[in-house]
């Protein structure tokens, strides 16, 4: 069960970090119009279509002792990031990025712009408008974003294998564990872990459907189906 706890820890860290970065980025992408916006939108969506090995490979290079992030980490903490939990978090944040940002953009965009104008005309700052109007009205989108990025991180395999390797207790996540068991013909153990992941995924998705049914929005379904 160590690997499952590790996966949960990883997913929780990644969802929290993604919510923190995703919120301002989604706000910016939803409400500002500028010429080069489509490029940023394409970059945000890139992990949806990129093979995990491609993403994992470049992250591994970047995190390695000669990569920019690896060097930065060496100079700051005197240790590299490749094959560590920190490195895994970094790679997973990139990999699950669209699963947070796209539901957030979608829910921000459905808010009537006139509500934001009304808030400003009543003297509210952008921050107050965000807290009092945008946030409460996009709550279902935020729940969707958190739950999807959590579930997606929980289930990832390729990126983890590339960046984290297979160190018990450090980078051996649940999905790697299943792969390991199958490789060693331990089908009973593999099945136990697989079943747990299956159940968790089902619970997570039914939560999202349940939350979204009330506002009749199913936009995320196409991403979840991937």
Q: Which of residues 130-159 bind other proteins (CB under 8 A)?
A: 132-133, 136-137
In this structure, what DSSP letter does residue 173 have? -
In the bound complex, what is the minimum distance in angstroms from residue 221's beta carbon to other proteins?
A: 24
114 sits near other proteins (criterion: CB under 8 A): yes
Determine contact, residues 158/51, Cβ cutoff 8 Å. yes
The residues near 180 (Cβ < 8 Å, ≥ 6 apart) are 166, 172
Q: Of residues 1, 16, 48, 115, which one binds other proteins by CB under 8 A? A: 115
118 sits near other proteins (criterion: CB under 8 A): yes
Burial of 182 (0-12, 13-18, 19+ CB in 10 A): middle
Stretch touching other proteins by CB under 8 A, among 35-43, 122-130, 187-195, 200-208 = 122-130
13 sits near other proteins (criterion: CB under 8 A): no
218 sits near other proteins (criterion: CB under 8 A): no
Q: Of residues 125, 184, 191, 206, which one binds other proteins by CB under 8 A? A: 125
Cβ-based nearer residue to other proteins, 29 or 133: 133
Chain Cα centroid distance, residue 199? 20
Determine contact, residues 106/113, Cβ cutoff 8 Å. no
**Cα atoms found within 13 Å of the Cα of residue 63, Cβ hemisphere only:** 25
Return residues touching other proteins (CB under 8 A).
112, 114-115, 117-125, 128, 132-133, 136-137
């Amino acid at each position: 069960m160590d690997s499952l706890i590790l996966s949960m820890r990883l997913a929780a860290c990644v969802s929290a970090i993604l919510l923190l970065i995703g919120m301002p980025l989604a706000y910016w992408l939803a409400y500002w119009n500028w010429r080069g916006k489509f490029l940023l939108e394409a970059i945000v969506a890139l992990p949806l279509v990129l093979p995990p090995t491609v993403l994992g490979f470049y992250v591994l290079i970047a995190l390695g002792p000669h990569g920019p992030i690896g060097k930065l980490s060496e100079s700051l903490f005197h240790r590299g990031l490749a094959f560590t939990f920190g490195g895994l978090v970094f790679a997973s944040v990139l990999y699950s990025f669209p699963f947070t940002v796209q539901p957030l953009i979608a829910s921000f965009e459905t808010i009537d712009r006139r509500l934001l104008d009304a808030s400003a005309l009543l003297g509210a700052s952008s921050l107050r408008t965000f807290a009092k109007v945008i946030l409460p009205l996009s709550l279902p989108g935020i729940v969707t974003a958190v739950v999807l990025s959590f579930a997606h991180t929980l289930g990832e395999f390729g990126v983890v294998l590339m960046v984290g390797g297979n160190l018990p207790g450090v980078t051996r996540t649940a999905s790697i564990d299943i792969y390991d068991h199958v490789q060693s013909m331990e089908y009973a153990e593999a099945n136990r872990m697989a079943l747990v992941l299956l159940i968790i995924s089902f619970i997570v998705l039914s939560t999202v459907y349940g939350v979204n049914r009330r506002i009749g929005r199913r936009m995320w379904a196409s991403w979840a189906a991937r």
